[in-house]
Structure 1
Amino acid sequence: MNTPFTLAVCAEMQFTDLPFIERIKKIHSYGVAVELWNWTDLDLPAIAETGVPIESMTGYISGNLTDDNGIEAFLKSAAESARASKILGSPRLNFHGTGLGEGGIPVDPVDKVTGRMWAKAALTLEKLAGIAEEHDVIFEMENLNLAVDHPGTPFSHPSDILSLLGAVGSDRLKINLDLYHAQIGDGSLIDTCREALPFLGEVQVADVPGRCEPSTGEINYRNVGQALVDMGYRGTIALEAWAKYDSDRAITTFVDTFSNLKESAK
């Protein structure tokens, strides 16, 4: 594999017929790292014993960024997640604008984000940055689409997240830029990557429509990957997608898409 990026695959979405430990070993056999969702459902010591590198995991269990009870729950669970991440070597910790329930629907959906909610969210992220500093971890806020998968999620657009991160100004807080969600909600993926670059913690990919591997939809991920190389990004790109055909083909296609790109002359 000749790639300038660290490639990773979401374990909850590939080889779903295998027991979890065997699943992450199978994914790693392709030369890629692994990402996890809800760590509370998993045997973290057993995962650590496999030696498979874990790039990210869920960074909160409940709560939200904007009301007092929700903020307390969010920050408490973020600290728990930070402690749990140490078992796996402190992977980056992912979170959203609010807690998600069954099927990815927000527990407390929002019709309109008010100015008060923006102010509360910025103060919450300042406190989250303090937790990140205390535990020596990175928290990443992921953008989500409203039209298909996550209606009612506040702070769902990349521009929303970048505004919050700019207001807080902490190196411990980054954006997890999910290009599947960004394509549905915003488009202009290369420009979005460029705008996010100063805060970019990782990039997640899946094609549109269908949320399957690259080359199954409308996004030219080969061009996106080359643009990321040209703008100097060398971090993680993760496949957070379902397999359209089978997991072997999905992961192989993903790896091929982001390999053998031209190094930037800059």
Structure 2
Amino acid sequence: MRLAVCAEMVFTEQPFVERVQRIHEAGFDVELWDSRSKDLRALAATGARFSSMTGYSAGSLVEPETADLVVSTAEALIPTALELGVERLVVHPAELVGGQAVRPHWRSDGTMWLTAARALVKLGELGARHGLTFCLENLNTILDHPGIPLARAKDTLALVRAVDHPNVRLMLDLYHAQLGEGNLIGTVREALPWVGEIQVADVPGRCEPGTGEINYSAVHSALADAGYKGTVGLEAHAAGNPHDALKAFRAAFAG
């Protein structure tokens, strides 16, 4: 397994390029969120390998009025992904600003399903043209992202399965899955054929493995037993010293 660390959430007292440099020097790949405000030339110069970044900047996959905006803003970010060598572009079930739903929906319906599926097909075609994979991330609506429809892992997995495109995969976030659904090992085993990347953080607190209730040793064993050789990304805050957080992450998944 390759290990990546989200530069948005650790070494936060440092300028962003310095965060990336520290993560790279520690031997990890790097995850980004919004790349539009970043110094791309400086990031590329770090020599870091970039695992993923946010792959759209506006629109909602589930809304007929704005689904095409997801695709057009994704296309506008392709040059950035290619410049940095990013492998996966992350999209969400609905539009987020500051982590919150721009237009909250408390129930999902058939129109949302069909709209999201059609938009994901277009993203898959876009990804195929450029050698990139778009990953749909599951979210929790209990704590962090209320009002996001089709956000549960079982919903995002169903969408990715229905689209059935090699350039559309699941960003399986186990922190969100634990808060929303639990049954992580069962979810991992079911979803693995459709996974593009796995993200982790512990619950509660969204810090590194070992700080909460999730048995990440068992999760790692399940992944290893299933032959998973993809990326596991730490999308988490450091409970204390960031270097110690990275060591705990490596200990949980490098065995």
TM-score range, shorter chain: over 0.9
Number of residue equivalences: 255
Which letter does structure 2 place at the counterpart of 1:106? A
Which letter does structure 1 place at the counterpart of 2:103? D
Q: Secondary structure at the match of 2:198?
A: strand
**Aligned match of 2:79:** 83
**Aligned match of 2:60:** 64
Between the aligned partners of 2:213 and 2:168, the Cα distance in structure 1 is: 31
**Aligned match of 1:97:** 93
Q: Secondary structure at the match of 2:196?
A: strand
- Alpha carbons 2:197, 2:231 under 8 Å: kept: yes
Q: Secondary structure at the match of 1:126?
A: helix
Between the aligned partners of 2:62 and 2:202, the Cα distance in structure 1 is: 31
- Alpha carbons 2:61, 2:95 under 8 Å: kept: no
**Aligned match of 2:107:** 112
Q: Secondary structure at the match of 2:233?
A: strand
Which letter does structure 1 place at the counterpart of 2:28? V
1:179 equivalent to 2:159? Answer no
Q: Secondary structure at the match of 1:83?
A: helix
**Aligned match of 1:157:** 152
Between the aligned partners of 2:237 and 2:32, the Cα distance in structure 1 is: 14
Between the aligned partners of 2:37 and 2:228, the Cα distance in structure 1 is: 33
**Aligned match of 1:41:** 37
Q: Spell out, residue by residue over 1:205-262, the C-alpha distance to the aligned partner (whole angstroms, 9 max, x if none).
A: 00000000000000010110011000111100010000111201111110111122xx
Q: Spell out, residue by residue over 1:75-129, the C-alpha distance to the aligned partner (whole angstroms, 9 max, x if none).
A: 1111112222000113210110011112x11111111111111111111111111
CA RMSD, Structure 1 to Structure 2 (Å)? 1.0
**Aligned match of 1:21:** 17
1:257 equivalent to 2:234? Answer no
Q: Secondary structure at the match of 1:175?
A: strand
Matches within 5 A, 1:111-260: 111-260=106-255
Between the aligned partners of 1:16 and 1:119, the Cα distance in structure 2 is: 39
Percent identical? 46
- Residue 74 of structure 1: how far off its partner (Å): 0.7
Q: Secondary structure at the match of 1:21?
A: helix
Which letter does structure 2 place at the counterpart of 1:182? A
- Alpha carbons 1:63, 1:99 under 8 Å: kept: yes
Structure 1: gaps spanning 5 or more residues: 261-266
Q: Secondary structure at the match of 2:101?
A: coil
Structure 2: gaps spanning 5 or more residues: none
- Residue 27 of structure 1: how far off its partner (Å): 1.2
Between the aligned partners of 1:71 and 1:38, the Cα distance in structure 2 is: 19
- Residue 58 of structure 1: how far off its partner (Å): 0.5
- Residue 68 of structure 1: how far off its partner (Å): 3.2
Between the aligned partners of 1:202 and 1:175, the Cα distance in structure 2 is: 7
When the two structures are superposed, what TM-score results if normalisation uses the length of structure 1?
A: 0.94
- Alpha carbons 2:202, 2:209 under 8 Å: kept: yes
Q: Spell out, residue by residue over 1:173-228, the C-alpha distance to the aligned partner (whole angstroms, 9 max, x if none).
A: 00010000000001010100011011011110000000000000000101100110
- Alpha carbons 1:81, 1:93 under 8 Å: kept: no
When the two structures are superposed, what TM-score results if normalisation uses the length of structure 2?
A: 0.98
- Residue 6 of structure 1: how far off its partner (Å): 0.3
